[in-house]
Amino acid sequence: MPVPILFGRYALLDRLAVGGMAELFLAKATGDGGFEKVCVIKRVLPHLAGNDAFVQMFLDEARIAARLEHPGIVQIFDLGKQGDDYYLAMEYLPGEDAAAICEETARKQQPMPLAVGCAIIAAAAEALHHAHEATAPDGKPLGIVHRDVSPANLFVTYRGQVKLLDFGIARAEARLRQTQTGEIKGKAGYMGPEQSKGLPVDRRADVWSLGVCLYELLAGQPLY
């Protein structure tokens, strides 16, 4: 953007991406004593700000991710509302998602090295295991299932870190809004049989999806 746009205590520097539900901005948080920190702001699109169901799902994402502290899960450190706009502030990750890496390897007709593809999936598996095992302060399992594991949500930084993104449609016992049985969410090409039929799912649904990702990274084409 030509000039930064003030957004509460943040300055929006550039729009990174826009989807059907939210937009991402490169931003800078400012504070007392010259404090500055580069971050990413995920802001709900204006036409959805009045959609209670979507806003609850957005709040769910923050609530779930805030309970997960793992180097392989993108960190969310602020949730708020500026005017009519709901937003999340999360860590800035310079890098590319695995979907973009797959596209580039296909364009160059160079398969992804076996060790690289396996390393990405192994790191994602560790992050998923942490989410699956997460408990509330009282020790009760949170029952988190990501439900949207795909190459687009596996992010690889330029320093070689792998981060699991987007718990926006995750199922968890602590959700504000529970997805009803029969309600299908996620990307069809990565769903296991139960999820695609709208049946109840557990952590095995994520393991299935991660296996599909492994195939795509190594074969250079989607499984389905």
The whole-number pLDDT of residue 15 equals 94
Task: Answer for the pair 175, 64: CB distance below 8 angstroms, yes or no.
Answer: yes
The whole-chain average pLDDT of the chain stands at 87
**pLDDT above 50: residue 38:** yes
pTM score, two decimals? Answer: 0.83
Task: Answer for the pair 97, 161: CB distance below 8 angstroms, yes or no.
Answer: no
The whole-number pLDDT of residue 20 equals 75
CA distance 1 to 9: 18
The whole-number pLDDT of residue 130 equals 95
| Active-site pick, 52, 148, 166, 202 | 148
Q: What are phi and psi of 102, to 5 degrees?
A: -60, -40
**pLDDT above 90: residue 100:** yes
CA angle 214, 220, 222 (to 5 degrees): 70
Taken in order 191, 146, 168, 166, the sign of the CA dihedral is negative
- Least confident window among 2-16, 56-70, 101-115, 141-155: 56-70
What tokens appear for 5 in the block?
């746009």
What tokens appear for 85 in the block?
């706009």
Write the DSSP symbol of residue 7.
E
CA distance 72 to 13: 26
Find which of 117-131, 138-152, 159-173 is predicted with most confidence, using mean pLDDT.
Answer: 117-131
Q: Is 148 a catalytic residue?
A: yes
Mean per-residue pLDDT for 41-45? 90
The whole-number pLDDT of residue 183 equals 52
Task: Answer for the pair 203, 132: CB distance below 8 angstroms, yes or no.
Answer: yes
Please give the share of the chain, as a percent, with pLDDT higher than 90.
50
